[in-house]
Structure 1
Amino acid sequence: MKPVEFDDAESYEPEEGWGRRALAGSDEFTFEWFEKPPGHSSPMHDHENEQVCLCLEGELVVHTEDETVTLEEYDSVWLESWESHRVENASEERAVGLDVFAPGRSFDFWTDRE
């Protein structure tokens, strides 16, 4: 067993107000808690990992090249490997979500981007 306390979890802020925390995981899968400030969107991107994005609080809009879906509290969406997407908080309130990646990944995905 390998517990991770939320306050002790590795954290990263790719942009101001867009916080991420690495929760318990492994090389096979990782869990990343995140918060998005009002009006924030990640850039359009893709990655080798399959991803499930779960909305925990507020509302998240997930855009792919072909579709847009709005997630409300406890709704989720699955994204295939290499599927281009971005996640947006279009509301005026903070949004909180949980990303699950398989295989697992580290924050290097964001820190090593050009």
Structure 2
Amino acid sequence: MKSVDFADADTYEPEEGWRRVSLAGSEKFTFEWFEKPPGHSSPIHDHENEQVCLCLEGELTIYDEEGESTTLERFDSVWLDAWEPHRVANESDELAVGLDVFAPGRSFDFWTDREE
């Protein structure tokens, strides 16, 4: 058993106000809690991991590379296939909070070692 205290968990802030916290997980799957400030969007990106994004508070809009989108409200979720280009935006005036699940698991290296 591996317990992770939220207050002591590894945290990464890719951009001001966009905070990610690594929760309990393994090489097979990882959980990342995140806050996304109003008006913020991640860059369009893809990765080798399948991803489920769950909206916990506020609204999150997920865009594919063609600009098609789906908006998640509280407790809505979306599944993204491995290598599916996407970006996640908070287009509201309120803070959005979500939970990402990745399989296989990944570390924050995805963002820290990323080449633009």
TM, length-normalised to structure 1 = 0.98
Residue of structure 1 in register with 2:100 after alignment? 99
Residue of structure 1 in register with 2:86 after alignment? 85
Equivalent position SS for 2:111: helix
CA distance in structure 2 between the partners assigned to 1:9 and 1:78 by the alignment: 25
Residue of structure 2 in register with 1:112 after alignment? 113
Alignment of 1:5-84 (within 5 A): 5-66=5-66, 67-84=68-85
Aligned residues: 114
CA distance in structure 1 between the partners assigned to 2:10 and 2:89 by the alignment: 23
Moved over 6 A (4+): none
TM, length-normalised to structure 2 = 0.97
Gaps of 5+ in 2: none
Gaps of 5+ in 1: none
Question: Residue 65 of structure 1: CA displacement?
Answer: 2.0
RMSD: 0.6
